[in-house]
Homo-oligomer: A and B are copies of this chain.
Amino acid sequence: MPALTRQDCLALDAADPLAGLRDRFDLPEGVIYLDGNSLGALPKGVAERVEQVVRAEWGRDLIRSWNTADWYGAPGRVGAKLAPLLGARPHEVTITDTISVNLYKLLVAAVRMRPGRTRILCEAGNFPSDNHIVDSVARQFGLEVVAVPAGEIAAAVDGTVAVATLSHVNYRSALMQDMGAVTEAIHRAGALAVWDLAHSSGAVRLDLDGTGADFAVGCGYKYLNGGPGAPSHIFVAERHQAAFDQPLTGWFAHAAPFRFDPGFARAEGIRAALCSTPQVLSLIALEAALDAFAGVDMGALEAKGRALGDLLIRFHDERLTRFGTAVASPRDAARRGSHVSIALDGGFPVMARLIERGIIGDFRAPDILRFGFAPPYLRFADIYDAAEALEAILAAGDWRDAPVATGAVT
């Protein structure tokens, strides 16, 4: 196979059926943005919609907007809008709080559904915040935590396990789990599955209902482009909603919040997964951002993300290995989410220099250069240009010596 050229990439862009989606985003000039897996780009229309919420709904209509603009229904409404991207039904998803808070709710609810079981199984190497929450829940219920790599969850689950939790796509490696097979194994042991979709929602095709998932959490500010710190989504399969018993029993989870009854009566359906008053500006920004997915086939989107990743890996193999780098993500695109990690000892200054050039990825200590490929707004030529810049920085060689700002590259 002849070496990859920029011309090849331009041809791929010309043939890309999703190329037009880029016009749905306001992207800054001179930037190749490979960090949409950390903070997604700004979709067009969001700024205008947020301004309307601030000036008209808040400023002019004031408290009435809870009814007239249906802020009250917004968590469920936005959840229903998101549900098709997750392969879920509208009444199985709502938008609230953060991933960590929602994971806490789900784990406590799951543990309560499996009384007598003594262990929580979790993914070693999962995003640490998830496992901190696992540890906290286990401590509260006197349970043992067992951490194994994601690929070993199916084999490790047994009748002592109440709940197993793992990421669908790992935040470092991008290794993607087979949700159906793993969930089935968890269910065979009588346990419950809680999936973290942080690096999946909006990037890859999901089928929560088809795979039999019990519970899931996901992120609004990565591939869904909902804005900085956008609220999380939470999925509770319909069959579990009647017994769903989470501990953050705030008034938005109450069957009749405006009756102001002293006792708690759990709301029916997905509302039971809420806790309290939503942060409306951030929530409505996410709602508007989801317009960028209107009419998009998630299978096609996933395929494009994989193709973008394959391109970087091919470039890497052809031109970068001489610098001591290694691909730290699955080479099999079918087992990979929408980012590619390249390992490089002491590579932090390399990422800092890429960012100085307007090529924005991120770094995950100790040695991971992470490049995210948000399929709606990235072009194949962008990947080529980014990889060439990476090659130039590595070839210059002085990145090992020269000091760079050592602040966090989030």
Contact = CB atoms under 8 A, between A and B. Distances in A.
A258 B47 contact: no
A259 interface: yes
B42 A277 contact: no
A78 to B, nearest CB: 13
A132 B250 contact: yes
Interface in A372-410: 407-410
Interface residues of A, number: 88
A250 B281 contact: no
Contact of A281 (B50, B72, B124): B50
B100 A410 contact: no
A282 interface: yes
Contacts of A276: 98-101, 129
A275 B410 contact: no
A248 B67 contact: no
Contact of A282 (B61, B280, B355): B280
A297 interface: no
B280 A228 contact: yes
Contact of A229 (B139, B283, B285): B283
A58 interface: yes
Contact of A55 (B35, B42, B59, B360): B42
Q: Which of A254, A258, A277 has the most CB of B within 10 A?
A: A277
A101 B250 contact: yes
A66 to B, nearest CB: 4
Chain multiplicity (copies)? 2
Given A50-B50, A99-B276, A360-B62, A247 B42 contact: no
Contacts of A50: 50-51, 54, 281
A202 interface: no
Contact of A140 (B47, B61, B221, B247): B247
A235 interface: no
Nearest to A41: B62
A66 B221 CA distance: 13
Interface in A155-210: none
A371 interface: no
A244 interface: no
A135 interface: yes
Contact of A72 (B124, B135, B263, B408): B408
A191 to B, nearest CB: 21
B277 A98 contact: yes
Q: Which of A53, A58, A101 has the most CB of B within 10 A?
A: A58
Contacts of A230: 279
A26 interface: yes
A64 interface: yes
Q: Which 9 A/B pairs are nearest by Cβ-Cβ distance? A: A100-B250, A228-B280, A279-B282, A42-B59, A129-B251, A98-B276, A100-B276, A132-B264, A66-B410
22 contacts: A28-B62, A35-B63, A39-B66, A42-B59, A51-B51, A63-B410, A67-B407, A67-B408, A97-B101, A98-B277, A100-B249, A101-B248, A125-B262, A128-B261, A128-B264, A132-B251, A133-B250, A227-B280, A229-B278, A259-B365, A260-B365, A281-B282
